Structures are given as structure tokens and as C-alpha cells.
Amino acid sequence: MALSLSLTACTHLLETRAAANVPSPSSSGQAIPITPSTPPISSDDPASDPSIQILVNKQKSLDADYAPEDLVRVDVPTVLKSEEVNQLRKEAADALKALFAGAETAGFKLYARSGYRSYKTQTALFAGYVKNHGEKEANRFSARAGQSEHQTGLAMDITSDSVSLQLSEDFGDTEEGQWVREHAPEYGFIVRYPKGKEDITGYMYEPWHLRYLGTKLAADVARSGLTYDEYAAKAADGGNPS
């Protein structure tokens, strides 16, 4: 039986149910065919602002005072009452609406659970996890302030009724979770922390955490089979990420 996690990199501050065991990602990551001709990160996607491509991880932090200027409330079903977390940057919010509409056409109802989080919110969140779980364990499933993609306004945690509107690894095995993994790139999103990649991303498998990159880059990253950390590093080196 897979555990339903309530304490994750993405979980909202108000969710304080204890997670005694944080499961390790399995080694069975999805096999995505690699296309040799994929170009490096480019800005030729007319829909995308170059700042959409920002890489944030445990090595690349955002400033404490960074906040996107174009946050809007998402126009999709949400779970939490917090106004802050129900926001994304405009382009990502529009894409999320399209993704949810696509899912609905396929017969699935999705919910947005946690999107934008300020540096201040993330500071409080991580401190709470460290208090309850110790720093080492907290670091596996949560981000230090400045290191969370949620501060970019380009990441959204999604869920569904089949996982009781929680953030759960089980979401990846549901029909809607599988649909999302397969179709997210068509709408400009990737599943940012794939199964079996914790040693690269620094995070356990999070089938619910979507990162907006724009349709072209999301498709390129998905096709490459790389994490965004690897893809962006190769592109920055001037190499061909694929």
C-alpha cells in the first residue's frame, strides 16, 4: 500500500498531519524516448516570456524579495482557502485552465491545491517541517526558502477526488494522474520531480507538482527524458540537452 503523504515539498502550511514514513522513489522511472535533434533551451516560443525558463533548485535560489509581478488567481477548482496559494503567473494560470479543460474533456476532474508561495510563507513552512521531522528528512520533501519553485509562481500542485484532494504518490497511479503525466507538456507543463530521480532533483517523487515552462520547452524537456535540472545545465553549457 502506498502511503498518502500530507507533508511534502508542496504541502500547504496548514496541513500538519504527521507523515511517519516518507517513501523512497523507486528506480522505475518512466522511459521517454530521446530524440537526438532536440535543440537547447530557446526563446523562440512566442507564448513564453524568457523568465518562464528560470531554474530553481537546491543549488539555484531566488532572492528573498523576489515575487512575480503578474500573479493572478487561477480560474480552476481549488482546494485551499489561502488566496496566496491559489495564484500563478498569468501565462501559467491560462495554461493551467487549458490543461484542466483538456482533462475534463478526457473525463477527469482536477483540482489546484498549492501554487504561488512567498519567501516568507516558505520560511515558515520549512521551519515547521524541521521542527517535526528534523532537518535532514525535511530537506527531502520540502524546500528551504528561496529554493522552492512555488516562489516563481510557475508551479502548481494538483490533485483529484481519487486521492481525497491530498498530495499523494498514489496520484501518479490514478487514471487522471497518468493522463496528466502524458499530456501536461502539450499545455506547457512538466512533472518536475519524476520517479527515481531523487538523487538528481533532491526531491522524492511528486506526481502532483507541475512546473510551467511553455509548450515548446516543456515538450523538449519531456522528450529528452531528463529532469529540468539536467536539461537546463546542459543547455547552459552550450551543449545539446538531448
* Interacting residue ranges for Zn ion, rule: CB under 5 A: 10, 157, 209
| Cβ at position 167, least distance to Zn ion in Å | 8
Q: Does the CA dihedral 230-231-236-239 come out positive or negative?
A: positive
CB distance 182 to 164 below 8 Å: no
Pick between residue 10 and residue 138 the one whose CB is nearest to Zn ion: 10
25 Cβ neighbours under 8 A, 6+ residues apart: 195, 196, 197, 198, 204, 205
CB distance 201 to 232 below 8 Å: no
* Whole-number Cα distances in Å, 21 to 6, 7, 189: 11, 10, 29
| Cβ at position 9, least distance to Zn ion in Å | 5
Pick between residue 167 and residue 235 the one whose CB is nearest to Zn ion: 167
Pick between residue 91 and residue 206 the one whose CB is nearest to Zn ion: 206
| Cβ at position 203, least distance to Zn ion in Å | 9
| Cβ at position 183, least distance to Zn ion in Å | 19
Pick between residue 108 and residue 208 the one whose CB is nearest to Zn ion: 208
Q: Which residue is nearest to Zn ion (CB)?
A: 10
Question: Strand 155-159 to strand 71-73: parallel, antiparallel, or no bridges (unpaired)?
Answer: unpaired
Pick between residue 10 and residue 95 the one whose CB is nearest to Zn ion: 10
SS3 51: helix
| Cβ at position 144, least distance to Zn ion in Å | 14
Cell of 163: 486521492
Pick between residue 167 and residue 232 the one whose CB is nearest to Zn ion: 167
| Cβ at position 159, least distance to Zn ion in Å | 11
* Whole-number Cα distances in Å, 157 to 38, 109, 114, 116, 189: 28, 14, 5, 10, 12
